């Protein structure tokens, strides 16, 4: 079962949130994963997605996981190539510049959530091993693609910092 690594009162920035079941159920269709990998990498593949769908086989309720944009940025602080590979923009969003990512996984180990909210592309070619995390589609004027293309409208943005 996937739980938080520890109960935390961690301060969170704006992040993707899933609507409560009484509002809208996630259908588990993975459209959010597909559009995420397409928008960011031009390919369809779970390994390239920055949002994850846990298809709840026991509960029949799918759960969405993505970066919670912690205000203390443990992933950013853990990166040995901080400000080159793991960067912080003017809005406080931590994003990965994949050209400089060395695939060391320190950001993944630093993530306080279980499962970690950072994905990793495995490859035989070491130069293609990269971390990938939600950046709220920071360069996309329309905002996060996963929210726009969710067919059941179960995704949204948290209202403000430190909200769920």
pLDDT at residue 3, rounded to an integer: 43
Within the chain, strands assigned E span 16-18, 51-54, 63-66, 86-88, 94-96, 118-121, 130-133, 155-157
What mean pLDDT value characterizes the chain? 87
Each domain of the chain, given as residue ranges in start order, spans 16-71+113-157
pLDDT at 22: 66
Q: Over 50: is that where the pLDDT of 5 sits? A: no
Q: In terms of Cα–Cα distance, which of 157, 159, 154 is closest to 61? A: 154
Percentage above 70 pLDDT, the chain: 87
Cβ proximity of 98 and 130 under 8 Å: yes
Render pLDDT for 57-115 as a digit per residue (tens, 0 to 9).
Answer: 676 778 899 999 999 999 999 999 999 999 999 988 999 999 999 999 999 999 999 99
Query: Tell me: the pLDDT tens digits for 10-25?
Result: 788 889 888 886 667 8
pLDDT at 60: 73
Omega within 30 of 0 (cis) for the link into 139: no
Q: Print burial letters for 62-80: b (CB count within 10 Å at least 16), e (below 16).
A: bebbbbbbbeebbbbebbe
Could you give the percent of the chain with pLDDT greater than 90? 65
Taking alpha carbons only, the member of 164, 153, 163 closest to residue 32 is 153
Phi/psi for 52 (5° steps) reads: -130, 140
């Amino acid at each position: 079962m996937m739980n938080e690594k520890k109960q935390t009162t961690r301060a969170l920035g704006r992040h993707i949130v899933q609507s409560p079941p009484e509002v809208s159920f996630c259908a588990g269709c993975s459209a959010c994963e597909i559009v995420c990998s397409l928008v960011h990498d031009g390919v369809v593949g779970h390994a390239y997605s920055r949002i994850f769908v846990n298809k709840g086989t026991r509960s029949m309720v799918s759960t969405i996981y993505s970066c919670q944009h912690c205000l203390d940025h443990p992933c950013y602080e853990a990166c040995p190539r901080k400000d080159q590979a793991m960067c912080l923009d003017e809005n406080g969003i931590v994003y990965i510049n994949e050209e400089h990512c060395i695939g060391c996984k320190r950001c993944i180990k630093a993530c306080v959530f279980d499962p970690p909210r950072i994905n990793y592309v495995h490859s035989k070619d070491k130069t293609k091993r990269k971390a990938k995390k939600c950046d709220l589609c920071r360069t996309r004027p329309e905002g996060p693609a996963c929210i726009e293309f969710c067919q059941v409208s179960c995704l949204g943005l948290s209202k403000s910092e430190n909200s769920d």
